């Protein structure tokens, strides 16, 4: 059921599918949107929600958790909602998790989400995962989001957690990984990855694109000598690469 977007939301469903396919994905427990739908903002959580959160916290490793929104329309082929819904990091204990879950639910009512979504409602599930002790983290695009070409994987990487990349507070190291090798792109960012690490990130991203059958935007973390997948979503509105031939010639 965790692999069904209608039950678990797009983000959690994609991760569940990848985990079942053998990718390194952190453990996770999904609080389904159907369970959370009755919890109105500002009210005491229903007993069923409070019990589910307590059971999830007890079942997961006793480390800080990432509490992540997973909406039914999120990470879809036509709309990614990238960065729109809330994620709360470093959460510990049932009460903190409940507060973070409410933050995720209320993020669905933010003006930017409503504007992007347009008319129609949304069902928000919430994914609970142990925090990964990331030595480096970032994003990998299996097609160039500017040109649309898919001949190389573009990687942005920062030291530690990837939230500094998402919120724009860190200047990332950039890599281009093509079949002939990994190339660190010019820039003033500190070195983060070695070439073999960049190649490993690119390989995981390519495998995710092959699994889903379309170019992917993959969030990843490097931990304990391996690439861990934190999110994988289609690249939406990918431009058509420019033609190198002229019609009729």
Residue found by looking up tokens 């409503």 in the block: 114
Give the Cα separation of 13 and 239 in Å (integer): 26
Does position 102 have pLDDT exceeding 60, yes or no? yes
- Selected residue with higher pLDDT from 170 and 46: 46
pLDDT-derived band of residue 145, with 50, 70 and 90 as boundaries? Answer: confident
Confidence of residue 216 (pLDDT cuts 50, 70, 90): very high
- The sign of the dihedral angle between the CA atoms of 32, 34, 40, 41 is positive
12: nearest Cα among 109, 183, 161, 128:
128
Residue 108 has pLDDT above 90, yes or no: no
pLDDT attached to residue 195? 97
From 101, 116, 109, 112, select the one nearest 49 (Cα to Cα): 101
How much is the pLDDT for 149? 81
pLDDT computed for residue 51 by the predictor: 96
Evaluate if residue 53 carries a pLDDT over 70. Answer: yes
- Give the CA dihedral 52, 82, 75, 114, nearest 10 degrees: 80
What's the pTM?
0.87
Which residues, other chains included, contact 222 with Cβ-Cβ below 8 Å and sequence gap of 6+? Answer: 134, 135, 136, 137, 193, 197, 201, 228
The mean pLDDT value for 130-147 works out to 92
Give residue 221's pLDDT.
Answer: 98
Q: Decide: helix, strand or coil at residue 25.
A: coil
Q: Does the pLDDT at position 114 exceed 60?
A: no
Lowest mean pLDDT segment, chosen from 65-79, 138-152, 215-229: 65-79
Average predicted confidence (pLDDT) for the chain:
88
Confidence band of 248 (pLDDT split at 50, 70, 90): low
Per-residue model confidence as pLDDT tens digits over 156-184: 999 999 988 877 788 999 999 999 999 99
């Amino acid at each position: 059921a965790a692999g069904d977007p209608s039950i678990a939301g797009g983000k959690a469903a994609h991760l569940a599918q990848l985990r079942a396919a053998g990718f390194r994905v952190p453990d996770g427990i999904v609080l389904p949107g159907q369970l959370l739908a009755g919890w109105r903002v500002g009210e005491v959580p229903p007993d069923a929600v409070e019990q589910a959160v307590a059971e999830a916290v007890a079942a997961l490793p006793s480390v800080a958790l990432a509490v992540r929104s997973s909406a039914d329309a999120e990470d879809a082929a036509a709309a990614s909602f990238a960065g729109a819904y809330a994620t709360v990091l470093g959460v510990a204990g049932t009460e903190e998790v409940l507060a973070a879950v409410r933050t995720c639910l209320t993020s669905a009512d933010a003006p930017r989400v409503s504007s992007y979504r347009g008319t129609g409602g949304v069902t928000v599930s919430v994914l609970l995962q142990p925090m990964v002790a990331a030595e480096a983290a970032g994003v990998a695009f299996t097609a160039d989001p500017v040109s649309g070409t898919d001949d190389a994987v573009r990687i942005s990487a920062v030291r530690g957690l990837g939230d500094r990349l998402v919120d724009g507070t860190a200047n990332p190291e950039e890599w281009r990984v093509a079949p002939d090798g990994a190339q660190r792109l010019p820039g003033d960012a500190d070195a983060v990855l070695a070439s073999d690490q960049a190649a490993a990130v690119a390989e995981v991203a390519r495998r995710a694109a092959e699994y889903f059958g379309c170019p992917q935007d993959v969030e990843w973390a490097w931990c304990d000598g391996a690439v861990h997948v934190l999110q994988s979503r289609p690249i939406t509105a990918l431009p058509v690469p420019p033609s190198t031939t002229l019609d009729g010639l």
